Amino acid sequence: MKFQLAINLERIDDTIDMNEVARHTLEMVQMADRGGFNIVWAAEHHALEMTIAPNPFSILAWWATHTSNIRLGTACVAAAYWHPIKVAGEAALIDLISGGRLEFGLGSGAYQREFDRMKPGLKQSDAWRYMQEMLPIVRALWIGDVAHNGDFWSFPTSTSCPKPVQKEVPVWIAARAPITYDYAVKNGCNIMSWPLTRDMSEAALYMDRLSEAMINNPGSRRPVMAMMRHTAVYEKTSDWMVPVHAAQRQLSQFENLFKNMDNVTNGFPKGIPLNQLGNRAEYDPEMLSQNLMFGTPEQIISKLKLYQELGVDEFIYYASLGLGIAEQKKSMELFCSEVIPAFS
């Protein structure tokens, strides 16, 4: 099993200094680079302090100059907010300056709140159509001249300048629905999935969807399957509530965004009290501790082996969860020194 890191510049409230956040984020990426992580992912989000990522390519260019081995991925470019020629050029430039370390993740976008500001009139549930139109265009632009006349973009003959260093840039699709697994397999894309706070049956369901997609597309290459969980490693079992409290706080803010309540002030979503949520059982402390990648190094290793047995190829360590900076660094140190060697 290989390991990937998903991390954001993140502020839960305005008492946290932005310069300290930037330093911390880069240090976490460098720790992952030295510790043997395979890929680090930069997201795209807008006008939200809890995921400060207005341009994943800018973030990756920053990380590229401070790392040596770790591959650099977009997770994900929100297709509807971009033009294909710009995406192709930006991505290829990252591949060039990083020495061929680009992993290209393309997605639909997450929150209706962002679409209301970045692409007014577009429903989040319809944004997959932009992603599916963009991917073949970008791949064609990386090869040479192409003209396009589609539903969302039209342009005369053009190409990507520069071209990627890699002959074939790995492409990733975020997938949960069966139709997306089928699309990924048909189009030679790797898959990243996120069971949220649900138990292992959700992870098993995603693996079943991959198997079904492979059956429906005979002769297709099996994609690399990566699965993401919020992760926190601690030394003492008595510390188990520390990441749980952080998770409950941040997930209550995510509920605000998922429900499009638009209760956001200066980029900070207001948390919804858990006792007001119809799905509050999903935030039970013991359930969160069990389902998320929380635990001592020994507990984490045992949990990861369950994913390995399911057929998951790579695990995505989701670092940003409102934990304090010291706790995040300690978690990364323990993961690199005690967890990764168990899978060497």
C-alpha 143 chain-centroid distance: 27
**pLDDT bucket at 66, cuts 50 / 70 / 90:** very high
Q: What is the pLDDT of residue 275?
A: 76
Query: Residue range 154-173: average pLDDT?
Result: 98
In this structure, what is the dihedral angle of CA atoms 208, 210, 215, 221, given to the nearest 10 degrees?
Answer: -150
Residue 68 covered by a domain: yes
Q: How distant, in Å, are the alpha carbons of 104, 147, 171, 333 from that of 141?
A: 14, 9, 14, 41
- 8-22 pLDDT per residue, tens: 999 988 999 999 999
- Whole-angstrom distance, CA of residue 197 vs CA of residue 182: 24
Question: With contact defined as beta carbons under 8 Å apart, do 103 and 73 qualify?
Answer: yes
Q: What is the pLDDT of residue 182?
A: 97
Residue 154 covered by a domain: yes
CB under 8 A, 24+ apart: contacts of 151-159: 152/80, 153/83, 153/84, 155/84, 155/85, 158/85
- Whole-angstrom distance, CA of residue 45 vs CA of residue 54: 6
- Whole-angstrom distance, CA of residue 170 vs CA of residue 99: 14
Question: With contact defined as beta carbons under 8 Å apart, do 222 and 214 qualify?
Answer: yes
Residue 88 covered by a domain: yes
Give the helix, strand, coil percentages of the chain, each rounded to 5. 50, 20, 35
pLDDT reading at 35 higher than 70: yes
322 vs 228, residue with greater confidence:
228
Q: What is the pLDDT of residue 125?
A: 94
Residue 253 covered by a domain: no
Question: With contact defined as beta carbons under 8 Å apart, do 42 and 75 qualify?
Answer: yes
Q: What are the backbone angles phi and psi of residue 317, rounded to the nearest 5°?
A: -80, 105
- Whole-angstrom distance, CA of residue 200 vs CA of residue 100: 35
Q: What is the pLDDT of residue 278?
A: 65
Q: What is the pLDDT of residue 202?
A: 97
Query: What amino acid occupies position 170?
Result: P
- 256-314 pLDDT per residue, tens: 888 877 689 999 999 888 777 766 677 899 999 999 999 999 999 999 999 999 999 99
Query: Residue range 159-173: average pLDDT?
Result: 98
DSSP string, 272-341: PPGGG-TTGGGG-HHHHHHHTEEE-HHHHHHHHHHHHHHT--EEEEE--SS--HHHHHHHHHHIIIIIGG
Lowest-pLDDT choice from 35-49, 199-213, 262-276: 262-276
CATH of the domain at 202: 3.20.20.30
Query: What amino acid occupies position 7?
Result: I
Residues of the chain with pLDDT > 90: what percent?
A: 89
Whole domain around residue 152: which residue ranges? 2-239+291-343
Q: What is the pLDDT of residue 255?
A: 82
- 47-64 pLDDT per residue, tens: 999 999 999 999 999 999
Q: Which helix (H) or strand (E) holds 41?
A: strand 39-42
Residues of the chain with pLDDT > 70: what percent?
A: 99
- Whole-angstrom distance, CA of residue 176 vs CA of residue 161: 33
Q: What is the pLDDT of residue 259?
A: 80
Q: What are the backbone angles phi and psi of residue 93, rounded to the nearest 5°?
A: -65, -40
**Collapsed DSSP state (helix, strand, coil) of residue 90:** helix
Query: Residue range 206-221: average pLDDT?
Result: 98
Q: What is the pLDDT of residue 283?
A: 81
pLDDT reading at 163 higher than 90: yes
Tokens of 172: 């990733």
Residue 278 covered by a domain: no
Q: What is the pLDDT of residue 150?
A: 98
Residue 72 covered by a domain: yes
Q: What is the pLDDT of residue 22?
A: 97
Q: What is the pLDDT of residue 265?
A: 93
How many residues comprise the chain? 344
What is the average pLDDT value for the chain, to the nearest integer? 95
DSSP string, 121-153: T--GGGTHHHHHHHHHHHHHHHHS-EEEE-SS-
- 94-150 pLDDT per residue, tens: 999 999 999 999 999 989 999 999 999 999 999 999 999 999 999 999 999 999 999
Would you tell me the crossing angle of helices 200-216 and 297-310 to the nearest 10 degrees?
A: 30
Query: Residue range 211-225: average pLDDT?
Result: 98
Q: What is the pLDDT of residue 236?
A: 95
C-alpha 301 chain-centroid distance: 22
**pLDDT bucket at 33, cuts 50 / 70 / 90:** very high
Total domain count, the chain: 1
Residue 266 covered by a domain: no
